């Protein structure tokens, strides 16, 4: 019976930390994210890649079977938020190295103090997907409802990787978020087609300004 009060205390603490982050003046609101979202920096991540392109996880008893030439993205994709052991037992993982890696990571989670955002998605064999950031909706979290948002980018793999341009792999992400919750009724995901940092806006030239470095033009 003490589990619910403990969760409430953890939720209250997490909400308080998020509120302080918004009032400290150390973070500037960005147009890229809703102001009620706050970043999670101390998450843990497990990634797995299945080069056969098979499904990694499903909420049904059996994984969907994919023919060799099938490219249906929705059958490889998955997105679940796990806030309790019961959420994990509802899932079926692939009996592959990639599937077992994700399953083991989820099983090691203490859901009394953390949650897991689990995602799987198809990716071209010569491309990779990287996790850039994780955020949670602090307003929903204050009510015990975890709404995580994961932001990814896609890039070409290293040139020394042997891959077939027309092949499809499946990549999975298990993100352990140090936040306990009673439930999760929503989640979000964003994807950028480039992992390069946004170019900085060029500085305005001022002919009267003196270069503080005293250096010469290249």
Q: What is the DSSP string of 10-30?
A: HHHHHHHHHHHHHHSS-S---
The residues that bridge with 53 in the sheet, in sequence order, are none
**How many CB atoms are located within 10 Å of the residue 6 CB?**
12
Place of tokens 């919750």: 181
pLDDT of residue 7: 55
pLDDT digits (tens, 9 = 90+) for 14-40: 544 444 333 333 333 333 444 467 799
Beta bridge partners, 188, equal 149
The reported pTM is 0.73
48-96 pLDDT tens trace: 999 999 899 999 888 877 654 455 555 678 999 999 999 999 999 999 9
Residue 41: pLDDT band with limits 50, 70, 90 = very high
Q: Counting every residue, how long is the chain?
A: 218
The HSE-up count of residue 67 (CA atoms within 13 Å, CB side) is 3
**What is the longest distance spanned by two Cα atoms in the chain?**
72
Separation between Cα atoms, residue 213 and residue 118, nearest integer Å: 49
In this predicted structure, what is the pLDDT of residue 18? 42
Contact between 170 and 77 (Cβ < 8 Å) = no
Please provide the average confidence, as pLDDT, over all residues in the chain.
79
Start-to-end C-alpha separation, the chain: 70
């Amino acid at each position: 019976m003490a589990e619910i009060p403990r969760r409430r205390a953890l939720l209250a603490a997490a909400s308080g930390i998020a509120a302080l982050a918004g009032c400290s003046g150390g973070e500037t609101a960005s147009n890229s994210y809703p102001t009620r979202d706050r970043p999670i920096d101390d998450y843990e991540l497990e990634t797995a890649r299945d080069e056969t392109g098979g499904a990694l996880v499903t909420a049904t008893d059996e994984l969907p079977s994919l023919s060799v030439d099938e490219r249906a993205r929705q059958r490889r994709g998955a997105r679940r938020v796990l806030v309790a052991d019961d959420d994990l037992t509802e899932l079926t993982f692939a009996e592959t190295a990639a599937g077992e890696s994700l399953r083991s990571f989820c099983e090691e989670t203490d859901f009394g103090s953390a949650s897991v955002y689990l995602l799987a998605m198809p990716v071209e064999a010569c491309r990779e997907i990287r996790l850039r950031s994780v955020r949670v909706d602090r307003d929903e979290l204050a009510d015990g409802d975890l709404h995580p948002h994961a932001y990814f980018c896609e890039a070409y793999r290293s040139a020394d990787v042997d891959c077939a341009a027309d092949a499809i792999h499946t990549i999975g992400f298990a993100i352990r978020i140090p936040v306990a919750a009673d439930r999760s009724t929503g989640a979000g995901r964003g994807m950028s087609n480039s992992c390069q940092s946004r170019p900085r806006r060029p500085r305005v030239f001022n002919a009267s300004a003196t270069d503080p470095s005293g250096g010469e033009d290249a």
